[in-house]
Structure 1
Amino acid sequence: MSHPCPGSSRFGIPDGQIIVGAEQQYWTWKPGGPDRVGINTIAYYQTFFGRKLELKMGYLRNQNEFAGTVVGGNAGVNVFGPPSNILYQAGMSNNPAPTPALNLKYNFDARLYNKVSIQRSLSPDGQSAQITENPSGLNWSTPNAGILLLDEPGYKNKAAPGVPETWLLAGAGFNNSSYTNLQYPNQPRANANSVYYVAADRQLWQSDVQGSASRGVYGGFSVMYAPTDLNKVSQYFELRLYAKGLFDSRPSDQIAVVATNTVWGNFAVEAALTKGHLVHRDSTAISGTYTAHLAPGIYTSITYTRQTGRALNFLVSTSIFF
């Protein structure tokens, strides 16, 4: 369970922001991850040339900036399944593991954009190693971590009366960190990992055309790929159907049904088989999530995942803006 508390204020900066956040993470389930208390983000955001160019720099969480993993608007509610593994393998920073980065987004017009990032990579040994070696998040780097370069062109139009919201994007990341080669694990570490992805989301029905055009039903998909010789998760597929403000009495609530398929890299699978471990070559799950907007800045999500039978995950997330 984590409790991020981001805050932002103008401080007289025209069309810019300074963003500072902290996070406390505590797990009662050991495999969940290491406990930590540290920064969530320290960032400076600024626009130029009539908002044609957007700059964001500092200790960033690129999980929220790239790959379209958060489509819940200002609330930042994630309706997706868990594509995080394949992105974290590539070194992408996230809420419990922010890293130094500089992001630039160029808006060709109101819909077409291209976004690039130069980011200090997460540890090539994984998310758990990153947090263990840098729990505060303030260290400039961790052992064997290099630079992650990201590029994402996209097309996004906001919902308007009679105009459905559409978001199409594709991206690639290249990382020069020192990774262990899963095909030849006894050889010296290899470099040049990568990840590739495409995603699309479309508003299928507007439930309140004149009042709030973003309310309605949406559909989308994501596909991700990473090379099998350096990554334990090689492919990820997702189909999603979700709704924003489906009920008039709950205009800020969200509902999502997500089907996912995660494919493990063949070298990782063969290595596990050689050791006599029980393995699966892929994992399929169907989950349903209801996210309730309880009060300004407070969202509660309840998720049921069919893959794990009767397991019920309850997440409470609190954000304070000042």
Structure 2
Amino acid sequence: MAADHVRFRPTTKQSGLAIALSIAACLVGNPSPTQAAEVARSKGEPQDEAGKRTIQSKADAISRADHRHKNAAGSRADIPVAVNKRKADNVTNYTIQKKPDPFAKFANLREKGLVVSIPGPADTVVQDAGGVRSALAELGIGYLLWSQVTYTNNLLPNAAKSTIANQLYNGQNPTFNTVNYMWVTYDLSRYGIPDGQIVVGAEEQSWTWQPGGPDRLGINTISYYQTLWDKKVELKLGYLRNSHEFAGTVVGGNAGSNVFGPSSSILFQGGLSAAPAPTPALNLKYNFDDHLYTKVSFQRADSPDGLFTQITENPTGLNWSTAHAGVLYLDETGYLNKAAPGSPQTWLRAGAGYNTSSYKSWALPNRQRTDPNTFYYIAADRQFWQTNAQDAASRGIYAGFSVMGAPPDLNTVSQYYELRFYVNGPFDWRPTDQFSVVATNTVWSKLAVDAALAKGNLVHWDSKAIAATYTAHLAPGIYTSIGLTYINNPTSITYIPQIGHALNFSVSTNIFF
């Protein structure tokens, strides 16, 4: 009613001026939402600029007062609504704002230069309990412990069960093995070294079937890492396990996901250092851009007589070399596009190795030693479908293949083929699980087969296998894998009819601390 009275009441110039000044004073005392936003933005700015805006606001208010006094009540009624709306928007903005990641401070303390994805502190059992990790991080120190327990057993009734001492392949009898790792990292970037890092790691493993291991306690790695020329070059040297630096032999790239199943021995018979058998090496990686790279290694080769001999002769891993071992020169060139929203993952790589070690030759009488040895590999993995690109781009369906080869005169395995299909995050309620199916064909050296035939043995030319594995991420830092692997000819080249086939059931648990 007051508004109506103002609207229709005739006014003089003096009364209109008085009303205008009154309304202007009211508007200056209760700024509009636009003015309030301007004031909020001006906080912290020089006082003279703020003063200019205040004076201009008052002048604008006075000049518009004659128009505003006609619906002053309506305007005043609108101001609380606008203010309340602004408050609601502020609450909404605050609610949807992402919380800072409390584990981001540990990112620089994870081991660098690997192609295998090992869970970080957020995906461990202890996480930052008691603030221990945070306290160590303040000193530039990070750590990770990994414990793995695996059980394998052939389910077929005609497996020619034997004593453990006479066992011919993993799973012929119920086979257990445990592997325990510990890594400690030290951040050197705090001293101005680009991405600088020192890593010291130890490994302990135990097997009921010694040829699968054997038992050992020793180093896993002692390494120095840094980048050069704005990350164009990555340098890593020390006692390295190059099986975690080249080729990408772990399905899906996650160390907690595919911990058993078919894998090629070509890389290891060619001298590539493995996790239980690190050797001195210098690795240099050149990044042409964010995707294309080439990586070379100058590595003291593992024993030419195999991984078992390497570990037996050098269980601690600290020896510079073993008998007959030379130098492995290795190069890998590849293209890696990591998964991102709307951009599926693609990884193409090809590598070749040249080993100066002295190998026993299948082509020479009494297997006399000769050198050098070589090998090559080609591999590709592609993400064909992203199931939740915005929240977890790596979730989806993948497929890949590997082809590897080595000279048949110096190697027991001369060819290896692998096809793989895997799903990361197969279900919405299991977004960090993995399911994989891997088919392989291992082809034996023709010269090695002929040598076995000459001795009157039953032989086979290859060994085919198919493995299905489901890995459940049960809790932070805890993974359990259950797998079933059918193997045609599970032994090496020679066999007896009772062990021509195997159906291995495996279960493995990985715990990260």
Q: Provide the secondary structure at the position in 1 that maps to 2:366.
A: coil
3-state DSSP of counterpart to 1:72: helix
Contact 2:258 2:471 in 1 (8 A): no
Tell me whether 1:201 sits opposite 2:378 in the alignment: no
Distance 1:277 1:31, change over 3 A: farther
Question: Does residue 10 in structure 1 map to residue 187 in structure 2?
Answer: yes
Following superposition, the deviation at residue 148 of structure 1 comes to 0.2
Listed as ranges, the matches of 1:118-197 within 5 Å are 118-186=298-366, 188-197=368-377
Q: Name 2:430's counterpart in structure 1.
A: 250
- C-alpha contact (below 8 Å) 1:81/1:238 kept by paired residues: no
Report the TM-score when normalising by structure 1. Answer: 0.94
Letter in 2 for 1:3: N
- The answer to whether structure 1 residue 316 and structure 2 residue 509 are counterparts is yes
1:86 counterpart letter in structure 2: I
Q: Of 218, 241, 251, which residue of structure 1 is paired with 2:398?
A: 218
Unaligned 5+ segments in structure 1 are none
Cα RMSD, aligned residues only: 1.8
The CA deviation string for residues 162-208 of structure 1, in whole angstroms up to 9 with x for no partner, is: 11100111110000000011111426410110001101110011010
Looking at structure 2, the residues matched to 37 and 186 of structure 1 have their Cα atoms a distance apart, in angstroms, of: 34
* Cα gap change, 1:72 to 1:10, in 2 (>3 Å): farther
Shift of 1:33: 2.7
Q: Which amino acid aligns with 1:4?
A: Y
Superposition map of 1:26-105 within 5 A: 26-70=206-250, 72-73=252-253, 75=255, 77-78=257-258, 82-105=262-285
User: Cα gap change, 1:57/1:74 in structure 2, threshold over 3 Å: closer, same or farther?
Assistant: farther
Given that residues 80 and 258 in structure 1 are in contact (C-alpha distance below 8 angstroms), is that contact kept between their aligned partners in structure 2? no
Letter in 2 for 1:44: Y
| Structure 1, 243-252 or 124-133: larger mean CA deviation | 243-252
Contact 1:158–1:165, Cα closer than 8 Å, also in 2 = yes
Q: Distance in 2 between matches of 1:284 and 1:74?
A: 24
Structure 1 pair 185–10 and aligned structure 2 pair: CA distance change class (3 A): farther
Shift, 1:143, TM fit: 0.4
CA shift, 1:71, in A, is 5.0
Distance 1:85 1:174, change over 3 A: same
Q: Which residue of 2 aligns with 1:19?
A: 199
Verify the 8 A CA contact 1:4 1:319 in the aligned structure 2.
no
> What's the % identity of the aligned pairs?
64
Match among 386, 391, 408 for residue 228 of structure 1: 408
Structure 2 vs 1, CA of residues 187 and 126 (structure 1 numbering), >3 Å: closer, same or farther? closer
Larger radius of gyration between Structure 1 and Structure 2: 2
**What is the rounded CA distance, in whole Å, between the counterparts of 1:216 and 1:104 in structure 2?**
32
Aligned residue type for 2:182:
C
Q: Which moved more, 1:186-195 or 1:162-171?
A: 186-195
**Cα gap change, 1:318/1:146 in structure 2, threshold over 3 Å: closer, same or farther?**
farther
- What are the ranges of 5 or more consecutive residues in structure 2 without an aligned counterpart? 1-176, 488-500
Q: Using the TM superposition, give the Cα deviation of residue 14 of structure 1 relative to its aligned residue in structure 2, in angstroms.
A: 4.0
Measured in 1, the distance between the counterparts of 2:423 and 2:339 equals 14
Residues 33 and 128 in structure 1, CA contact (< 8 A), matched pair in contact too: yes
Cα 1:194/1:76, change in 2 over 3 Å: farther
Which stretch shifts more, 74-83 or 17-26? 74-83
Change (3 A) 1:104 1:203: same
Q: Give 2:504's aligned amino acid.
A: A
Give the SS at the match of 1:57. strand
Residue 31 of structure 1, CA deviation: 3.2
TM-fit CA distance, 1:6: 2.4
Question: Does 293-302 or 222-231 show the bigger shift?
Answer: 293-302
Distance 2:226 2:251 in 1: 22
Letter of the 1:313 counterpart? S
Cα distance 1:33–1:24, how it changes in 2: closer, same or farther (>3 A)? same
Are 1:3 and 1:317, in contact at CA under 8 Å, matched by a contact in 2? no
**Aligned in 2, Cα 1:9/1:301: closer, same or farther, shift over 3 Å?**
farther
Q: Residue 103 of structure 1: CA displacement?
A: 0.5
Are the structure 2 counterparts of residues 77 and 52 from structure 1 closer, same or farther at C-alpha, using a change threshold of 3 Å?
farther
TM-score of the two chains, using structure 2 as the length reference: 0.60
CA distance in 1, matches of 2:478, 2:509: 8
In 1, Cα distance between the equivalents of 2:481 and 2:365? 40
Counterpart of 1:6 in structure 2: which amino acid? W
Q: Secondary structure at the match of 1:270?
A: helix
Question: Is this contact kept in 1: 2:438–2:467, CA < 8 A?
Answer: yes
Matched AA of 1:8: T
Q: Give the AA of the match of 2:511.
A: T
Does the 8 A contact of 1:6 with 1:319 survive in 2? no
Q: 1:319 to 1:143 in 2, by over 3 A?
A: farther
The CA distance in 2 between the partners of 1:316 and 1:237, in whole Å, is 28
Q: Offset at 1:56?
A: 1.1
Q: Secondary structure at the match of 1:311?
A: strand
CA shift, 1:252, in A, is 1.6
Deviation at 1:29, TM superposition (A): 2.0
Q: Please state how far the C-alpha of 1:88 moved relative to its aligned partner.
A: 0.7
More strand as a share of residues? 1
Counterpart in 1 of 2:485? 305
> Structure 1 316/3 Cα, relative in aligned 2: closer, same or farther at 3 Å?
farther
Q: Pick which of 172-181 and 18-27 moved more.
A: 18-27
My pick for the range that moved more, 41-50 or 193-202, is 41-50
Find the aligned partners of 2:464 and 2:368 in 1 and give their Cα distance: 34
